[in-house]
Amino acid sequence: MTTAARSPHPRAAVFDVDGTLVDTNYLHAVSWWEAFHQAGHRVAMTDIHHTVGMSSGRLMDRLLGEDRDREGDEALSAAHKAVYATWFDRLPAFEGAAALLRALADRDWRIVLATSAEGSELHALRRAIDADDAILAATSADDVEAGKPAPDPVLRALEQADVPPQGALFVGDTVWDVKAARAAGVDCVALLSGGIGRAELEAAGAVAVYRDPAELLAGLDDSPFARME
């Protein structure tokens, strides 16, 4: 892989985390299923999977309906977090995830994470990725009013990187990632590692689709990142 010359203009590579850098989408689906089950809700696992990537509130809106009794939302969210936390010490980063972040940082990209995770969950994810030396900042659910597919997480990440939308690319794995990026004026490179199909990601507006971080890393010189260097 060749090393690009330093760019005179700052550029930001904004990364979703769950399903993009760390293999957690199905863990989230199982955790939400258990939370719903405990509360007496019957929700199909496939429906849960297709909402992973949204903020908790939006996820519940989509799965339980916006006209539901919201008094149980806090308990549902807490139950999901409790089940998901049982995997914190063994969250698996995707092959090539850390190397991809470092390769882009070496090419003078400012690396920012944009995730719905918060607190100890974000700490566990960053520990799994093990590339803090390449990461400039991280935007979490604590930093924005609205989660994906709203553009807020992407816009906040751009503020942290001090880079305009035209100088950034977003990497995600869900339709909600693509929509959030497009709403923020940023092109999205999508990965199949979260379990969402190529056709859905392309229909949402992804400018390129790769199998996983390792494939994007291997093709970096011919990727949308190279075309912005």
Instruction: Write out pLDDT tens, residues 75-107.
Output: 999 999 999 999 999 999 999 999 999 999 999
Is the pLDDT reported for residue 43 higher than 80? yes
Residue 19 lies in a domain: yes
Query: Strand pairing partners for 113?
Result: 15, 138
Phi, psi dihedrals of residue 13, rounded to the nearest 5°:
-110, 110
- Can you give the pLDDT at residue 8? 62
Q: What is the pTM of this model?
A: 0.92
62 and 48 share one domain: yes
Residue written as token pair 């935007």: 139
109 and 165 share one domain: yes
CA atoms of 212 and 3, how far apart (whole Å): 21
- Express the helix, strand and coil content of the chain in percent, nearest 5 each: 50, 15, 35
Over residues 175-183, the mean pLDDT reads 96
- Whether omega before 213 lies within 30 degrees of 0, making that bond cis, reads no
Each residue of 192-210: pLDDT tens digit?
Answer: 999 999 999 999 999 999 9
When divided into structural domains, the chain yields a total of 2
Residue 113 lies in a domain: yes
Residue 211 lies in a domain: yes
- Confidence class of residue 2 from pLDDT cuts 50, 70 and 90? very low
47 and 16 share one domain: no
The helix (H) or strand (E) run that includes residue 11 is: strand 11-15
119 and 212 share one domain: yes
- Can you give the pLDDT at residue 7? 56
120 and 217 share one domain: yes
Q: Which CATH number belongs to the domain containing residue 222 in this structure?
A: 3.40.50.1000
In terms of C-beta density within 10 A (0-12 exposed, 13-18 middle, 19 or more buried), how is residue 141 classed? middle
In terms of C-beta density within 10 A (0-12 exposed, 13-18 middle, 19 or more buried), how is residue 147 classed? buried
Residue 4 lies in a domain: no
Q: Please give the mean pLDDT across all residues of the chain.
A: 94
123 and 15 share one domain: yes
Query: Strand pairing partners for 171?
Result: 15, 189
Domain extent for 99 = 11-24+92-227
Q: Which CATH number belongs to the domain containing residue 78 in this structure?
A: 1.10.150
207 and 165 share one domain: yes
